[in-house]
Structure 1
């Protein structure tokens, strides 16, 4: 099985946040981007691509590891307006998405030290991605949870 992050033609690969990292952030009510037949879950309630989580109403505290690539900003915008959750994306701080949905709207960010080893939907932990990651907190309670998570990196309050 190829568990690298390199692009493969005609392949759609879902990568999952290591469960031990999400547990450090506390309990979540909803993961709107959960894979079908996930080897583990990050929230009490989960939407898959069959549910079209982007179109559903979100509730409670949300954990978001959105589909990367085109359309990712729609997921971050929805979380921003929901105002209660933590997202994990690549730390590409110069992008339009970062400027439109994070720098002026998030409560805090945590740049993760090193590279996260994500899991493949098969449950196998894969290689490291080609970019560093950042957690983004929306809501004061989530900023505090992120600060106190114990995840190694550099924490910054934005508000």
Structure 2
């Protein structure tokens, strides 16, 4: 039996960003992937799965912690074309998604030192996932927000 985190029974697609990390990135206008009945919010406006945030028009500065798994690249592609926001995903830098939507299109990335202790939908910190995380900035202002966030890790400017 394969017990890698991708196939583990405990694998989940919702990993809620710790609020203290999102606060370090500044104020956001929209979170298109907010859970239903969230324990906390990262933006002024929020779309849930009931709203189908992927099909909506995005506006302002976006915070994106997309559903993990199949289809995640659609969310990153939409943020890339929107051009104003920060995403948080697993740091799987060799993937097609990373090559198609991040390496050549993002303004900056911040590899987080250590593993983020994400929250469960209940509002309880649920531990760490089986992969490291990276913040991705689209837009110069968001690159600066990452650089100056104080989040421990390695910052890379991709638009030198």
TM-score normalised by the chain length of structure 1? 0.94
Q: Does 1:135 align with 2:141?
A: no
CA offsets 1:18-37 (integer angstroms, 9 cap, x no match): 00000000000000000000
Cα offset for 1:13? 5.2
Q: Which residue of 1 aligns with 2:77?
A: 77
Q: Is the CA contact (8 Å cut-off) linking 1:80 and 1:105 kept in structure 2?
A: yes
**Structure 1 residues 11-26: aligned runs within 5 Å:** 14-26=14-26
Q: Which residue of 2 aligns with 1:30?
A: 30
Question: CA 1:157–1:13 in structure 2 vs 1: closer, same or farther (change >3 Å)?
Answer: closer
Q: Is the CA contact (8 Å cut-off) linking 1:13 and 1:120 kept in structure 2?
A: no
Q: Which residue of 2 aligns with 1:43?
A: 43
Q: Which residue of 2 aligns with 1:8?
A: 9
Give distance in 2, aligned partners of 1:101 and 1:25.
Answer: 21
Q: Which residue of 2 aligns with 1:97?
A: 97
Secondary structure at the residue paired with 1:111? strand
State the superposition RMSD in angstroms.
1.4
Cα offset for 1:39? 0.4
Give distance in 1, aligned partners of 2:29 and 2:44.
Answer: 5
TM-score normalised by the chain length of structure 2? 0.93
Q: Is the CA contact (8 Å cut-off) linking 2:13 and 2:68 kept in structure 1?
A: no
Q: Does 1:156 align with 2:139?
A: no
Cα offset for 1:12? 5.2
CA offsets 1:2-50 (integer angstroms, 9 cap, x no match): xxx77327x8552200000000000000000000000000000000000
* Structure 1 portions without partners, runs of 5+: none
* Structure 2 portions without partners, runs of 5+: none
Give distance in 1, aligned partners of 2:67 and 2:112.
Answer: 19
Q: Is the CA contact (8 Å cut-off) linking 1:111 and 1:134 kept in structure 2?
A: yes
